[in-house]
Amino acid sequence: MKSVTVNEQEIKNDLYEAVNGEWLKNAKIPDDKPATGGFNDLVDEIDKQLMDDLDAYAEGKEKSDDSRFNEMVKLYRLAKKFDFRKKVGPRPLKRMLTSIEELKSYDEYQGQWRNWIMAGMPSPVVFDIDADMKNATVYALFAAAPSLILPDKSYYEADKKDQHDQLLKLWSSMVTTLMDKLGYDKDEAAKHIENTKKFDALLAPNVKSAEEAADYSKMYNPQTVEELASSTDQLDLADVIKRLIGTTPEKVIVTEPEYFKALNGILTDHFELFKSWVLINVIRANASYLDDEMREINGRYSRALSGSKKSINQRKFAYYLARDVFSQVMGDYYGKKYFGPQAKEDVHHMVEQMIKVYKGRLANNDWLSKATRDKAILKLDKLGIQVGYSDKIPALYDQIKIDEGESLIANLNQANIVANREMFSRWNKPVDRMRWEMSAATVNAYYHPFKNIIVFPAAILQAPFYSLKQSSSENYGGIGAVIAHEISHAFDNNGALFDELGNLNNWWTKEDSEHFKQLAQKMIKEFDGIEFAGQKVNGKLTVSENIADAGGLSCALEAAKQEDDFDAKKFFINWATIWRMKATKQYEQLLLSIDVHAPQKLRANIQAENLDDFYSAFNIQPNDPMFKASGERVNIW
């Protein structure tokens, strides 16, 4: 990425525009994507690199002695055989659909339920295995609600009626075309579509919105299997749980209790609606694995939601599929080939340095009591660090075998069964805290509150985030702020609820907790209601990420100041650079409804405005648009 030329006078008006304005003018959003920019550009480069590599292996120009990698290459090769799939036609999908069409009752569905969950088919209850939120060293069973047709519950509310109707019309049109291509009679297809929309409308009032789901404290609602099973007499929840994990657990962690209170009413006298909902969800989940025409049709609704003009090309489709099924295998390959052990060590050291800075800030914090401060420092001492790529690939990937003589759908069903069998087998076993859940080839980073770990995949550890060619201040304004952002998640409104082991456990004094809530409320207020892309920012939805951004930026700034070549201007300019994004209006509006992150421009500008050094670096004065009165600046960590 070229260095950014900036008119410093313009920074007084708008940091983000001053740094990225020229780029925004010239940047073109690819037809097959809803956005372009810092993160997206890195993704594009990595995709191209890895597709070229996979082609070399698929064509026999390169050879690997890793059997798991070779299975991934086989899936890539199979996924590229669009002409072969066109000849085969819809038979592989029709076999699945026939088994649904023949169902006559919930009792018959019950007989298939466990096997269908294993194959990744739709279920009225979504089961998952993760660390127990109150005993984080052991894996527990979680139960949640299925997803909706529209992106979020808020789309079903009266103030979004026009959007709701327009999107459902688009969705219906797409599914009508899919069902026509699959040979369904017009009236039969119309009935299934109407039934599915009716069932979806029964789900919508009872599931959590993105804003509600963003509050982790409301996720932990343990129930006995008997209590959970009493949610409905239409299906036997106790039976399917026993068949999934091989026994009856003492408890199931219910993340959406209101949904389970409504479950019996949703199911009773609605079997035909439910059956249509299963049928259409199976069509939607698998149509793209038939021929290219079906793939294009099946993407129309999601492209309308995001504003993308075209579907991705065949080569990229095959690559994404192989990469996603073999995510840790691809991550291992990418990490070792393009990142290497030295860079892994360097960045690990940088993370440790940022933790030291954070500890210093906590030690000098003027609003936490000693008891809370000591527990916070203990949490940092116990923080797990994952950098670059995993040291071991889970054994799961040894079991995924690809048969190039079989259909793509059959292979993916088998891969789902292997993955789900392994997931459910983890129930009640010790948590592998350092197990990677994100591929090293992913341009992202995360903090896991149930495990108290931070993860920085290799793919994000490059310019503009991190480079040996950048100054230390630029690196701290990039990857330093990202690292400190993830550390800050341990102390945001969600992370602060979990102790050093990842248990949901209140380690705060009452006074400290109250003070923190007041500060969090200030952060909510700072962002809430800001006009953006014709809509408004939801401060409550984005509060945890905004707290992490604020803590990350101020902590990275302190670390940068300790370097001999500190340059505040370069620090803030690279901070604004990493958030550059040009997106379709549809995509920006979609993110405002469902994304826990604030819009990129606001992340860049508002967090800079909260820091005194920003004002001195660029001589920001009270009459400048980027000026915020000191009493309004929000600083938590």
Catalytic residue flag (residue 52): no
Among 53, 71, 332, 486, the active-site one is 486
Kindly list the distances between the CA atom of residue 6 and the CA atoms of 20, 353, 462, 476, 632, in Å, as whole numbers in the listed order. Answer: 9, 30, 22, 19, 27
pLDDT of residue 347: 81
pLDDT of residue 340: 81
pLDDT of residue 276: 98
pLDDT of residue 492: 86
Among 14, 71, 549, 588, the active-site one is 549
Contact 336, 389 (CB under 8 A): yes
- pLDDT tens-place string over residues 322-367: 999 999 999 999 999 988 888 788 788 888 888 999 999 898 888 9
pLDDT of residue 469: 87
Output the CA angle 347-353-356, nearest 5 degrees. Answer: 150
- pLDDT tens-place string over residues 547-596: 999 999 999 999 999 889 999 999 999 999 999 999 999 999 999 999 99
For the chain, which residues score pLDDT lower than 50?
none
pLDDT of residue 2: 52
pLDDT of residue 157: 92
> Facing residues of 128 across strands?
142
Written as one string, the DSSP assignment of 334-354 is: HIIIIIHHHHHHHHHHHHHHH
Catalytic residue flag (residue 422): no
Furthest CA-CA distance within the chain: 74
pLDDT of residue 514: 93
Contact 68, 57 (CB under 8 A): no
Tell me, rounded to whole angstroms, the distance of Cα 109 from its chain centroid: 31
Number of Cβ within 10 Å of residue 541's Cβ equals: 28
Residue 141 φ then ψ, to 5°: -95, 130
